[in-house]
C-alpha cells in the first residue's frame, strides 16, 4: 500500500510501510549504506508527516517482512495481544506519541498495553519523538526482574561487572572482579566475554565466579557470554550457570547467522530454568543487541536498522530475560557514524525496549575510529540515567582490553548515582553495607588492607 504527503508543491510518495519507516528514521550511516535512508531532510520530514497519519491497526495488516519467510515476524503477529491493544487501537502513530506523553498515561497504563504494541509500532512512534520525549516516556516504563537480586526498581541503577581478559587468565579476571566489587559494581551481573570457546576453560570461569559468590554470600548472578549452544553443553556437564546469554537480532536470517533460532533459545531457557539457581526469581536469560547487526549479516530485508533492532526486543521479551542491553556504538561508524547518531540510537533503543516490557540496559560505548569521544558518552550516560536505564557496564578504566573498545567504568556508575541519586539493587546494597564496602548512604568507604575481600579472594582455589 503506498503512502504519500504533500509539502508545498511537492508530493512525496512512499511505496510501502517498510519504505516509509526507513525514510522517516533519523539520519544514520547504516541506513545510507543500505540505501534505504531519505535522500534529503525534506524527504525525511515528509515521511514523518505521512507516518504520523498511519493508523496503528495498519501495522497488523502489513508485515515488513513476510509472515511466511521470517519466524520473528510470526512471533510478533502470533504473540500480539488484541485485548491489550484495544485501548489504543483507534490511534494513529502521531496520536500514540501524544498519548504516551500525557501525564495521565502512567506506569500502570503503559504496562497494561505493552503486549498490544508491536515492535514496528514502537519503532514508528520513536521516529516522531524528540530526545526529551524518548527520555520522558522511558522514565515512566517499569520493568522489574529478579534472580538473586531485584533489577529495574524506580530510582535504581545496576552495573554489569565486566572483568574480561585477552587470554581468559582466571587470576586476571578475579583481580578485575575484586576491583569492581570494591567499587560496588556487579549487581546486574558479573559477565565475562571469553576469548576462548574451549569448554574446560569456560568451566573454570563459571566455577571461579560461583566460588567467589558462595564464599562471600554475594546476592549476584554470573554469566559467561559464550554461544548459547556451548552453554547448553555446559549445563549438561554440570556447570554452575546462573544466566544464559545470547546475542540476538530482529530477523530470522540474522539470528541464523548468529547460529541461533527461537527453538534453540527455548531449549536454553528450559535448561537454565531446570537448574533452579535463582532464589528470588526465575528470569534466567541475558540478551545483547545492537543496531546494524542485520545489515552486517545481510539479513535486513530492506528494513531500516532501528526497526530491525526493535524487532529483536520481541525475541527478548518472549523469554522473560533478567537483562537485555544494546551495545550501542560497538559495531562502528559504518552504522552509527558519530556521537550524535550514537546518542540518538541509545535513547531510541532504551525507549522502545522499555515500552515493550524489556529490561533494558546500555553498553554506552564507541570504537576509536568513530567520530565520537568520551564527552559524547558522558552525555548519553547522563541522558540514559535520567531516562531510568536498567543497567550499564562497569569495566576497569572504561577500556575493554579484550574487545578493544571504549565503554563505561566503575567510576562512571559512581558519577551517575551521585548526580541522580540512584541506588543499587536493594539486596546488593545490603550486602555492600554488611561487608563494610559502603556507608549507609551508599557512598564507598575507605578500604584497608585487612578487608575480607582483599584477604580471602586471592586464597580461593578457583581464583
How many angstroms separate the CA atoms of 298 and 290, rounded?
A: 15
Give the C-alpha separation, 436 to 423, whole Å: 17
Going from the C-alpha of 260 to that of each of 291, 295, 387, 462, the distances in angstroms are 18, 17, 32, 31
Residues 334 and 30: beta-carbon distance below 8 Å: yes
- Flag whether 341 is marked binding: no
Instruction: Answer yes or no: is 363 a known binding residue.
Output: yes
Establish whether 194 is an annotated binding residue: yes
The runs of H, that is alpha helices, within 157-297 are: 170-182, 199-216, 228-236, 252-257, 262-275, 293-296
Buried b (16+ CB within 10 A) or exposed e, 434-457: ebebbeeebeeeeeeeebebeeeb
Pairing label, strands 10-14, 285-289: unpaired
Distances in Å between the Cα of 200 and the Cα atoms of 176, 212, 233, 352, 369 are: 21, 19, 11, 39, 35
Instruction: Please tell me the distance from the alpha carbon of residue 392 to that of residue 410, in angstroms, as a whole number.
Output: 10
Q: Are strands 150-151 and 158-161 parallel, antiparallel or unpaired?
A: unpaired
288 is in an annotated binding site: yes
The answer on whether 402 is annotated among ligand-binding residues is yes
- Cα separation, 351 vs 362, in Å, equals 11
Is residue 46 within 8 Å of 13, Cβ to Cβ?
Answer: no
Q: Which three cell numbers stand for residue 269?
A: 531457557
| Alpha-carbon span 303 to 59, nearest angstrom | 14
Q: Tell me whether residue 296 is annotated as binding.
A: yes
Sole residue written with cell 531519505: 38
> Quick check: 255 and 265 in contact, CB under 8 A?
no
406 assigned binding-site residue:
no
Judge whether 179 is annotated as a binding position: no
Distance from C-alpha of 399 to C-alpha of 365, rounded to nearest angstrom = 10
**Residue 160's beta-bridge partner residues?**
189, 393
Burial of 167 (0-12, 13-18, 19+ CB in 10 A): exposed
For 318, how many CA atoms within 13 A lie in the half-sphere containing its CB? 30
Binding residues for substrate: 160-162, 193, 288, 363
Binding residues: 160-162, 193-194, 246, 288, 296, 363, 402
Binding residues for adenosylcob(III)alamin: 194, 246, 296, 402
Amino acid at each position: 500500500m503506498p503512502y504519500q504527503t504533500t509539502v508545498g508543491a511537492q508530493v512525496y510518495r512512499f511505496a510501502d510501510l517498510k519504505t516509509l519507516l526507513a525514510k522517516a528514521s533519523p539520519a544514520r550511516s547504516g541506513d545510507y549504506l543500505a540505501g534505504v535512508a531519505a535522500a534529503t531532510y525534506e524527504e525525511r520530514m515528509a515521511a514523518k508527516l505521512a507516518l504520523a497519519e498511519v493508523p496503528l491497526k495498519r501495522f497488523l495488516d502489513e508485515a515488513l517482512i513476510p509472515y511466511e519467510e521470517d519466524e520473528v515476524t510470526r512471533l510478533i503477529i502470533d504473540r500480539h495481544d488484541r485485548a491489550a491493544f484495544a485501548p489504543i487501537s483507534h490511534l494513529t502513530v502521531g496520536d500514540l506519541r501524544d498519548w504516551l506523553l500525557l501525564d495521565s498515561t502512567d506506569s500502570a497504563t503503559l504496562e497494561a498495553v505493552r503486549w498490544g504494541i508491536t515492535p514496528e509500532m514502537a519503532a514508528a512512534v520513536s521516529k516522531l519523538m524528540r530526545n526529551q520525549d524518548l527520555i520522558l516516556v522511558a522514565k515512566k516504563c517499569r520493568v522489574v526482574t529478579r534472580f538473586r537480586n531485584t533489577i529495574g526498581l524506580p530510582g535504581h541503577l545496576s552495573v554489569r561487572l565486566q572483568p574480561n581478559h585477552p587470554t581468559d587468565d582466571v587470576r586476571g579476571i578475579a583481580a578485575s572482579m575484586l576491583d569492581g566489587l570494591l567499587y560496588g559494581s556487579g549487581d546486574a551481573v558479573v559477565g565475562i566475554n571469553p576469548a576462548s570457546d574451549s569448554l574446560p576453560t569456560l568451566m573454570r570461569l563459571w566455577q571461579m565466579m560461583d566460588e567467589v559468590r558462595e564464599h562471600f554470600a554475594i546476592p549476584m548472578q554470573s554469566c559467561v557470554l559464550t554461544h548459547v549452544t556451548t552453554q547448553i553443553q555446559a549445563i549438561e556437564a554440570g556447570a554452575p550457570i546462573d544466566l544464559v546469554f545470547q546475542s540476538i537480532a530482529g530477523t530470522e536470517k540474522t539470528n541464523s547467522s548468529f547460529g541461533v533460532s527461537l527453538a534453540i533459545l527455548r531449549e536454553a531457557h528450559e535448561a537454565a530454568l531446570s537448574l533452579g539457581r535463582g532464589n528470588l526469581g526465575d528470569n534466567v536469560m541475558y540478551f545483547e543487541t545492537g543496531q546494524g547487526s542485520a545489515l552486517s549479516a545481510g539479513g535486513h530485508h530492506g528494513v531500516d536498522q532501528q526497526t530491525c533492532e526493535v524487532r529483536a526486543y520481541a525475541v527478548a521479551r518472549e523469554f522473560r530475560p533478567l537483562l537485555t542491553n544494546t551495545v550501542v556504538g560497538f559495531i562502528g561508524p559504518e552504522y552509527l557514524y558519530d556521537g550524535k547518531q550514537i546518542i540518538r540510537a541509545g535513547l531510541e533503543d532504551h525507549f522502545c525496549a522499555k515500552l515493550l516490557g524489556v529490561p533494558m540496559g546500555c553498553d554506552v560505548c564507541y570504537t576509536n575510529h568513530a567520530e565520537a569521544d568520551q564527552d559524547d558518552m558522558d552525555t548519553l550516560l547522563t541522558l540514559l540515567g535520567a531516562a531510568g536505564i536498567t543497567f550499564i557496564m562497569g569495566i576497569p578504566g572504561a577500556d575493554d582490553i579484550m574487545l578493544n573498545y571504549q565503554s563505561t567504568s566503575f567510576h562512571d556508575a559512581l558519577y551517575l548515582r551521585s548526580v541522580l541519586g540512584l541506588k543499587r539493587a536493594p539486596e546488593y546494597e545490603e550486602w555492600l553495607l554488611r561487608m563494610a564496602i559502603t556507608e549507609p548512604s551508599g557512598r564507598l568507604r575507605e578500604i584497608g588492607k585487612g578487608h575480607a575481600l582483599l584477604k580471602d579472594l586471592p586464597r580461593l582455589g578457583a581464583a
